[in-house]
């Protein structure tokens, strides 16, 4: 595992819902244990920037996961606006290319951690071939990760399946956030293809993990989070 064992600061809860009551219930339940919450395209589309303010007003950090992917000028202007909200992390698709990533870095001016999404955890080799990419998953993730680093991006969002490879290539410097997390209790993978347990992610070198449905769809989200943290702390 990485050196920092403070899992309450390294577990990010994804608030991907259209119900404000449900979002508030999840935050209320997990706030004693969690420092960072992810706002993706669903919640941001429904509630807009005010959802960021509401989380920050609770003295929590925001991971804004909008995965910008557009021409460099558009992404540059979007990043300028997004970081003005005071978010801790912000995502871009590395498939947007070098010029787009460089424009994002310039617009960010070091205010948020810019994270390059490599390949979504819903992708597998079949999906890649269907969009005309004749490469294996690991090879594609490696190329996109190196592109992001060359452009000056702060870190990556990558599946736990490619994490050890990325650490071997890139070392400890880039921040790596791992989504597609499923506890070792038989939680359904849903539409995810490349999932890992919290322990495997941290053992492989994750700085942060993102957990969504296993927590937000739990009848007892606080208990679910506490169980995950206890399992990690015990090293099971």
Contact call for residues 94 and 144 (beta carbons, < 8 A)? yes
Residue 67 annotated among the catalytic residues of the structure: yes
Q: Which two tokens stand for residue 185?
A: 């209790």
Instruction: Say which residues have a Cβ less than 8 Å from residue 165's Cβ, sequence separation at least 6.
Output: 138, 141, 142
Contact call for residues 68 and 44 (beta carbons, < 8 A)? no
Query: What single string gives the DSSP state of each residue in 61-122?
Result: EEEEEEEE-S-HHHHHHHHHHHHTTT-SEEEEEGGG-HHHHHHHHHHHTTSSEEEEE-S-TT
Catalytic pick among 22, 38, 60, 67: 67
Instruction: Give the Cα separation of 111 and 138 in Å (integer).
Output: 30
| Cα 35 off chain centre by | 14
Residues with a known catalytic role: 67
């Amino acid at each position: 595992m990485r050196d920092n064992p403070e899992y309450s600061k390294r577990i990010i809860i994804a608030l991907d819902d259209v119900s404000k009551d449900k979002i508030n219930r999840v935050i209320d339940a997990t706030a004693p244990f969690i420092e960072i919450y992810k706002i993706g395209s669903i919640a941001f589309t429904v509630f807009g920037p005010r959802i960021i303010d509401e989380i920050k007003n609770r003295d929590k950090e925001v991971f804004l996961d909008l995965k910008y992917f557009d021409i460099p000028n558009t992404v540059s202007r979007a990043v300028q606006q997004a970081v003005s909200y005071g978010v801790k992390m912000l995502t871009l698709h590395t498939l947007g290319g070098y010029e787009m990533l460089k424009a994002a870095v310039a617009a960010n001016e070091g205010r948020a951690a810019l994270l390059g999404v490599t390949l979504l955890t819903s992708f597998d080799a079949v999906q890649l071939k269907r969009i005309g990419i004749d490469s294996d998953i690991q090879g594609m993730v490696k190329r996109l990760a190196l592109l992001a680093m060359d452009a000056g991006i702060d870190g990556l969002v990558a599946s736990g399946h490619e994490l050890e490879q990325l650490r071997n290539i890139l070392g400890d410097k880039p921040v790596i956030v791992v989504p597609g997390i499923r506890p070792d209790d038989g939680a359904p993978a849903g539409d995810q293809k490349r999932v890992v347990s919290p322990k495997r992610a941290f053992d492989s070198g994750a700085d942060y993990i993102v957990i969504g449905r296993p927590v937000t769809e739990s009848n007892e989200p606080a208990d679910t989070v506490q169980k995950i943290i206890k399992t990690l702390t015990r090293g099971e």
